[in-house]
């Protein structure tokens, strides 16, 4: 496979865009080589500007659960765009999409739409702080909640890949209210509660962590977390920007019995367009401007074209819940294949699946938190990533990301991917011996 055009395009981009990319994890920094420049997508495939075709397991980092150029989403977007791109005034599309989310998620009476997951979580935190009158928040190492200041502390994937636990430009005065606990470790959360002098506004968690690789929280841990929050009058926020409509129709809520006080959304609910949202019970949401005093706003919030795309995606999912069974089965088949391929050449691999989300670590022990995830063999991952790419398989370019199956990822594509994995892992094993 030739990558010449992508290499040239990256050089050109590099001159006018920092690092040549608009989001760091796209840069291929941890796996080597240069990022592919994409010309177009079609169903389960993407095509780069050199004309190479890849089976796409990144799917724009999660949003594209129906693959590329889904006909229904495309039609909804074109129809909305023809009526006007933005009005800065209410449209009925916002109400329809809000109704879909409210009907599916227990405890959510109202949602507010924004333009990204980052914005959704940032706003949810402000609301939690405004509602409780407290400043401190608890987050978990390895969980990513977007790049807003108080959350850019030990934030998984992009940050982990680049070895920046936080970032210059984030005042310590802001992160001093962010207490860090360890995922799946309730004692560490209890300790944070003890350390907080003036009380904790909220605990925010990815109930199915997808930004340190795929690392789900245990039911026991979530139950204990709920109890601790109740004991302290602290809000529990599930960040389901990734897992919402991905792990299953109701996100983590379809898997765990634990109910959060607030949920943040993004990715799938925009159908590929920039959308985020946060929701909670009516009592909490009543504190949000203009009903209440907690300010939050956006010129393009609830953008009609983005709402139309999201509504098309979410409605389709709601009408075809069996999609999740198919997606889950394919994800499981893929991970089973990777594991067999690795085992056949005595390479240790840990795998996990939640609905259409899959994850694998080159590790010989199970991973339950970020500290354990950091022990994985990233060198082998980098070789695996490169080898698969050269065989037309597009996997996320970091060992700390989750992979995705779309409804357009066919059984044949899964089989082709597994065959490639056997060859690549064999090569890796041979190069280790010599």
Ligand X SMILES: *Cc1c(COP(=O)(O)O)cnc(C)c1O
By CB under 6 A, which span of 64-72, 115-123, 174-182, 385-393 interacts with ligand X? 115-123
Taking the complex as a whole, how short is the minimal distance between the CB of residue 24 and ligand X, in angstroms? 11
The nearer residue to ligand X, 6 or 116, going by C-beta atoms, is 116
Taking the complex as a whole, how short is the minimal distance between the CB of residue 118 and ligand X, in angstroms? 3
Dist. CA 414–CA 407, nearest whole Å: 12
Q: Is position 239 an interface residue for ligand X (rule: CB under 6 A)?
A: yes
By CB under 6 A, which span of 12-20, 65-73, 204-212, 307-315 interacts with ligand X? 204-212
Dist. CA 348–CA 231, nearest whole Å: 41
The nearer residue to ligand X, 210 or 337, going by C-beta atoms, is 210
Q: Is position 118 an interface residue for ligand X (rule: CB under 6 A)?
A: yes
Q: Is position 142 an interface residue for ligand X (rule: CB under 6 A)?
A: no
Taking the complex as a whole, how short is the minimal distance between the CB of residue 206 and ligand X, in angstroms? 5
User: Measured at CB, which residue is nearest to ligand X?
Assistant: 117
249-268: b (≥16 Cβ within 10 Å) or e: bbbbbbbbebebbbbbbbbb
Q: Is position 44 an interface residue for ligand X (rule: CB under 6 A)?
A: no
Catalytically active residues are: 144, 239, 267
Taking the complex as a whole, how short is the minimal distance between the CB of residue 141 and ligand X, in angstroms? 14
CB 215 within 8 A of CB 142: yes
Phi-psi region of 4 (alpha: psi -120 to 50; beta: other; left: phi over 0): alpha
CA 334 to chain centre: 19
Q: Give 400: exposed, middle or buried? Use CB within 10 Å, 0-12, 13-18, 19+.
A: buried
Q: What binding mask, one character per residue, do residues 251-290 give for ligand X by CB under 6 A, x or -? A: ---------------x---------x--------------
Dist. CA 371–CA 352, nearest whole Å: 17
Which residues 75-94 are close enough to bind ligand X by CB under 6 A?
none
Q: Is position 211 an interface residue for ligand X (rule: CB under 6 A)?
A: yes
- Residues in the chain, total: 434
Q: Is 335 helix (H, G, I), strand (E, B) or coil?
A: helix
The nearer residue to ligand X, 144 or 338, going by C-beta atoms, is 144
Half-sphere exposure of 183 (CA within 13 A, CB side): 29
Q: Is position 121 an interface residue for ligand X (rule: CB under 6 A)?
A: yes
Taking the complex as a whole, how short is the minimal distance between the CB of residue 367 and ligand X, in angstroms? 17
The nearer residue to ligand X, 206 or 350, going by C-beta atoms, is 206
356-369: b (≥16 Cβ within 10 Å) or e: bbbbbbbbeeebbb
Q: Is position 242 an interface residue for ligand X (rule: CB under 6 A)?
A: yes
Dist. CA 340–CA 280, nearest whole Å: 43
The nearer residue to ligand X, 31 or 204, going by C-beta atoms, is 204
The nearer residue to ligand X, 317 or 342, going by C-beta atoms, is 317
Dist. CA 30–CA 97, nearest whole Å: 38
Dist. CA 232–CA 241, nearest whole Å: 26
List residues near ligand X by CB under 6 A. Answer: 116-118, 121, 144-146, 206, 210-211, 239, 241-242, 266, 276
């Amino acid at each position: 496979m030739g990558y010449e055009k992508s290499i040239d395009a990256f050089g050109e981009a590099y001159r006018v865009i920092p690092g040549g990319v608009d989001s760091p994890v796209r840069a291929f920094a941890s796996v080597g080589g240069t990022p592919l420049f994409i010309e177009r997508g079609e169903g389960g495939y993407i095509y780069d500007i050199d004309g190479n075709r890849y089976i796409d397991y990144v799917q724009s980092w999660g949003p594209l659960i129906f693959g590329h150029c889904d006909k229904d989403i495309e039609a909804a977007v074109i129809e909305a765009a023809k009526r006007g791109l933005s009005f800065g005034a209410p449209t009925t599309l916002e109400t329809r999409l809000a109704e879909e989310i409210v009907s599916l998620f227990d405890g959510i009476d109202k949602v507010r739409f924004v333009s990204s997951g980052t914005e959704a979580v940032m706003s949810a935190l402000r609301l939690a702080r405004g509602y409780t009158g407290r400043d401190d928040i608890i987050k978990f190492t390895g969980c990513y909640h977007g790049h807003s200041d108080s959350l850019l502390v030990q934030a998984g994937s992009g940050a982990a890949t680049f070895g920046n636990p936080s970032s210059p430009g984030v005042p310590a005065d802001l992160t001093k209210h962010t207490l860090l606990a360890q995922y799946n470790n309730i004692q560490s959360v209890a300790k944070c509660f003890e350390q907080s002098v003036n009380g904790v506004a909220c605990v925010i968690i990815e109930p199915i962590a997808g930004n340190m690789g795929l690392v789900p929280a245990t039911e026991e841990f979530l139950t204990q977390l709920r109890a601790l929050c109740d004991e302290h009058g602290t809000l529990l926020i599930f960040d389901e920007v990734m897992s919402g409509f991905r792990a299953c129709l109701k996100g983590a809520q379809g898997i765990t019995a634990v109910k959060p006080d607030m949920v943040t959304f993004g990715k799938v609910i925009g159908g590929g367009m920039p959308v985020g949202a946060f929701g909670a019970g009516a009592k909490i949401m009543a504190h949000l401007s203009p009903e209440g005093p907690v300010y939050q706003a956006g010129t393009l919030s609830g953008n009609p074209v983005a709402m139309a795309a999201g509504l098309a995606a979410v409605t389709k999912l709601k009408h075809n819940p069996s999609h999740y069974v198919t997606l889950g089965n394919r994800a499981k088949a893929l991970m089973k294949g990777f594991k067999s391929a690795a085992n056949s050449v005595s390479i240790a691999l840990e795998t996990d699946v939640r609905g259409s989300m899959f994850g694998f670590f080159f590790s010989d022990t199970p991973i339950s938190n970020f500290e354990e995830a950091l022990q994985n063999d990233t060198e082998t991952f980098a070789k695996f990533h490169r080898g698969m790419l050269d065989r037309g398989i597009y996997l996320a370019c970091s060992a700390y990301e989750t992979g995705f199956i779309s409804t357009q990822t066919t059984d044949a594509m899964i089989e082709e991917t597994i065959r490639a994995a056997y060859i690549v892992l064999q090569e890796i094993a041979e190069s280790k011996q010599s």
